[in-house]
Each structure stands twice: as structure tokens, then as C-alpha cells.
């Protein structure tokens, strides 16, 4: 199965422990025994924890985004001839998880932004921009009541 891109940028590296994900895979009832066969297949992979669920079509996998993604696991299962549950709910959940993992990996590729420094840019721009809080009258000419 294809490995995702590296999960670090030049400025930061996210700790490996924070990238662990646990997902539930639901298989189609036909052919029976797919969950057990997939579990045996996944147990041969490094950095992958697998357990069969109470339901015969359910499999739980725990993996790290540095090593695997749900879309890669699904593609690998499809290549091996496995059939996942094709109900609307399962397809929607898989799509949401795939999207969130892709977004997380994309965000990890971005350099860390210096939030405190970025505010200074706006402060400097505001100081040079004419606004109502500035009075050009010299202090000695101003009238005080």
C-alpha cells in the first residue's frame, strides 16, 4: 500500500504519537469472512494494529498517518478483491475521514506561522494609514477646555 508524504516541514515536525488514528471498516456481508481475511492481511503490516469487531463484518484498524491513510487502506483492500459496505452512511463516513486525513497531511506540510509577528504587520500598516485618531495640530496650538 502506498505511503503518504512526509509529515513534517522545515520549521516543525509533529510528534509521531499525535498522528495515530483508529478507524472502523465495515465489509459487505457477501462474501462472508472478509473481516477476518482483511485482519490477517493487515497484521502483516508494520505499525498497524488490527482487531475484529463483535459484528462479523466489522474490523477496527489503528494506524499512524505517517505510515498509512484510510484511502490507501481502502485502495489496497479493493485491489485484493475485498468489498466494503456500500451503504450511504458508510460511504459518507469514509469520504469524510479521507478528506480530513488529506487536509491534516496538507496542513502538516505548511510551515508554522508566527502569529505574534503577523500582528505587527497590521499594527505598522494601521500607524501609517490616515484615520480619525490622529490630530495634526501641534500640541501648543490646541485648545483645551
pLDDT tens digits, one per residue of 105-133: 988 887 766 666 667 777 777 777 766 66
How far lies 91's CA from each of 27, 43, 129, in Å? 11, 24, 52
Burial class (CB in 10 A: 0-12, 13-18, 19+), 101: buried
Domain boundaries, the chain: 16-109
Q: How far apart are CA 127 and CA 67, in angstroms?
A: 48
The 10s digit of each residue's pLDDT in 73-102 is 999 999 999 999 999 999 999 999 999 999
pLDDT of the residue at 115: 62
Identify whether the C-beta of residue 80 lies closer than 8 Å to the C-beta of residue 49: no
pTM exceeding 0.95: no
pLDDT of the residue at 7: 45
May I ask the CATH architecture of the domain 16-109?
A: 2-Layer Sandwich (3.30)
Q: How far apart are CA 22 and CA 63, in angstroms?
A: 7
pLDDT of the residue at 113: 66
Amino acid at each position: 500500500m502506498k505511503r503518504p508524504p512526509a509529515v513534517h516541514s522545515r520549521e516543525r515536525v509533529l510528534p509521531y504519537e499525535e498522528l495515530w488514528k483508529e478507524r472502523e471498516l465495515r465489509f459487505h456481508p457477501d462474501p462472508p469472512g472478509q473481516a477476518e481475511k482483511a485482519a490477517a492481511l493487515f497484521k502483516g503490516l508494520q505499525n498497524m494494529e488490527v482487531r475484529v469487531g463483535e459484528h462479523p463484518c466489522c474490523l477496527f484498524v489503528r494506524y499512524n498517518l505517517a505510515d498509512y491513510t484510510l484511502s490507501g487502506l481502502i485502495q489496497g483492500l479493493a485491489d485484493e478483491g475485498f468489498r466494503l459496505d456500500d451503504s450511504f452512511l458508510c460511504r459518507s463516513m469514509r469520504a469524510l475521514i479521507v478528506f480530513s486525513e488529506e487536509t491534516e497531511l496538507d496542513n502538516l506540510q505548511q510551515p508554522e506561522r508566527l502569529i505574534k509577528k503577523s500582528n505587527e504587520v497590521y499594527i505598522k500598516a494601521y500607524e501609517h494609514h490616515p484615520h480619525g485618531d490622529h490630530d495634526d495640530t501641534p500640541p501648543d496650538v490646541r485648545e483645551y477646555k
